[in-house]
Amino acid sequence: MVHGTKAFLPYLKASGDGHIINTSSVFGLFAQPGMSGYNATKFAVRGFTEALRQELDLQRCGVSATCVHPGGIRTDICRSSRIDANMTGFLIHSEQQARADFEKLFITDADQAAKVILQGVRKNKRRVLIGRDAYFLDLLARCLPAAYQALVVFASKRMAPKPRTPVFETNDEPRL
């Protein structure tokens, strides 16, 4: 993302018109246990894009930036992703259960997501949320910035069969 922005931004500025669209995630708005590495990268995308947008606004060069925060988008990514074995029992009962849960959560159609992104760019929005889940999690994190974390821990304890070692404390490579 950073390298791509550095490569294309000079051309956009030279044209006097353009828009950088960086995709974060709802996990760039809302942290979730067992996903610390993923959360960190998505928060980084958000921070980079927000700072870039402010810099471009100050330069008045005709180029802008938008950070996209999709919730669950119905694509093959979920079906083909690997579930970290360390997460079984930490936040999920089994890989099969995790996939079934993801299928229920991934409700936004990819074509609809693309339309929402384009509409956000046309309106020059700083942030674009995609899906009801994204709006809900954004609202929760904004309205209850400290309390939402306690709520997530509480919900995770109820869902998980037993506590496990967090991924960052193992020697395993983190995976989705």
Tell me the C-alpha to C-alpha distance, in Å, between residue 54 and each of 15, 38, 126, 144. 19, 25, 10, 26
Residue 155 vs residue 18, higher pLDDT: 18
Q: What is the pLDDT of residues 107-119, one digit of tens each?
A: 778 889 999 999 9
Confidence at 80, pLDDT banded by 50, 70, 90: low
Opening angle at CA 104, ends 98 and 106, nearest 5: 95
Q: Which of 4-18, 31-45, 70-84, 111-125 has the lowest average pLDDT?
A: 70-84
pTM: 0.77
176 falls within a domain? no
Asked if residue 63 belongs to a domain, the reply is yes
In a domain? residue 33: yes
* 25-60 pLDDT, tens digit each: 999 999 988 888 999 999 999 999 999 999 999 999
Per-residue confidence (pLDDT) for residue 106, from 0 to 100:
63
Confidence at residue 162, expressed as pLDDT on a 0 to 100 scale: 54
- For residue 101, being part of any structural domain is answered with no
Q: What is the CATH number of the domain that holds 64?
A: 3.40.50.720
What is the residue range of 145's domain? 2-72+108-130+141-162
Task: Report whether pLDDT(101) > 90.
Answer: no
| CB count in 10 Å sphere of residue 61 | 17
Q: For residues 57 and 176, which has the higher predicted lDDT (pLDDT)?
A: 57
> Both tokens of residue 70?
């999709």
Q: Using CA atoms in the order 40, 42, 44, 46, what is the torsion angle rounded to 10 degrees?
A: -150
| Count of domains forming the chain | 1
Helix (H) or strand (E) holding 109: strand 108-109
Residue 67 pLDDT > 70:
yes
In the predicted model, is pLDDT for residue 96 greater than 70? no
**pLDDT at site 19:** 98
Within a domain: 95: no
The residues annotated as belonging to the active site are 38
Domain membership flag for residue 80: no
Indicate if the pLDDT at residue 71 is higher than 80.
Answer: yes
pLDDT in tens, 131-156: 999 999 999 999 998 898 888 888 87
Asked if residue 22 is part of any domain, the answer here is: yes
pLDDT tens digits for range 162-174: 555 565 565 555 5
Q: What is the pLDDT of residue 95?
A: 60
